Amino acid sequence: MKLISKVAYAAAGLVFIGSSVFAQSLADAKKAIDAEQYQKAKSILKNLTTTQPTKDENFFYLGWVYTIQDYADSAKAVFNQGIAANPKSALNFAGLGVVAHVDKDNAGTASNFDKAISFAAKDSKPYLYMGKGYLLLSGGKTTVAAADANAAIAILNKGLVVNPKDADINIALGDAYRSQLKSSDAYKYYSDATNLNPQSAVANVAIGVLWKYANNFEDAEKQFQKALSIDPNFGPAYREWAETDLRWALTDPKMASEKVKQAADQYRKYLSLTDMSIESRMRYADFLIQAGDYKTLQTEAAALSASANSNLRVYRYLGYSAYENGDYPAGLTAMNKWISQAGEKRIIPRDYLYLGRLQMKSGQDSLGIQSLQKAYQLDTTQADVFNEIAKSYYAKKKYLEAGDAYRRYISKTRQAKLQDYLNEGISYYYAYDEKNPKADTTLLTKSDSAFAHIEQTATTPIAAVALYRAYVNDTKDRDRQNIKGYAKPFYEKYIQIVTTKGPTDSDKKSLASAYAYLGTYYQFKEKDDAKATENFTKAREFDPANKQAVAFFAKKGK
Residue type, 384: D
Q: Can you give the three-state secondary structure of 519-545, one letter per residue? A: HHHHHHHCCCHHHHHHHHHHHHHHCCC
DSSP at 274: S
**Confidence at residue 136, expressed as pLDDT on a 0 to 100 scale:** 93
Domains of the chain: 383-459 (no CATH), 482-558 (1.25.40)
Residue type, 443: L
| Opening angle at CA 517, ends 514 and 518, nearest 5 | 90
| Opening angle at CA 340, ends 334 and 346, nearest 5 | 95
**Confidence at residue 16, expressed as pLDDT on a 0 to 100 scale:** 39
**Confidence at residue 139, expressed as pLDDT on a 0 to 100 scale:** 64
Residue type, 95: G
Kindly give the interhelix angle for 217-230 and 201-213, rounded to the nearest 10 degrees.
Answer: 170
Cα–Cα distances (Å) from 245 to 173, 235, 239, in that order, read 26, 15, 10
Distance between CA atoms of 7 and 400, rounded to whole angstroms? Answer: 46
Spatial CB neighbours of 121, under 8 Å, sequence gap ≥ 6? 90
Distance between CA atoms of 68 and 156, rounded to whole angstroms? Answer: 19
The gap between the terminal CA atoms of the chain, to the nearest Å, is 63
Look at residues 491, 442, 496 and name the one whose alpha carbon lies nearest to residue 466: 491
Distance between CA atoms of 82 and 122, rounded to whole angstroms? Answer: 20
User: How far out from the chain centre does Cα 459 lie?
Assistant: 31
Q: Read off the pLDDT of residues 209-248 as tens digits, 9 standing for 90 and up.
A: 999 999 999 999 999 999 999 999 999 999 999 999 989 9
pTM above 0.85, yes or no: no
Burial of residue 504, with CB atoms counted within 10 A of its CB: 0-12 exposed, 13-18 middle, 19 or more buried: exposed
Distance between CA atoms of 475 and 477, rounded to whole angstroms? Answer: 5
**pLDDT less than 70: residues of the chain:** 1-23, 139-140, 308-309, 437, 479-480, 558
Strand segments (E) across 55-94: none
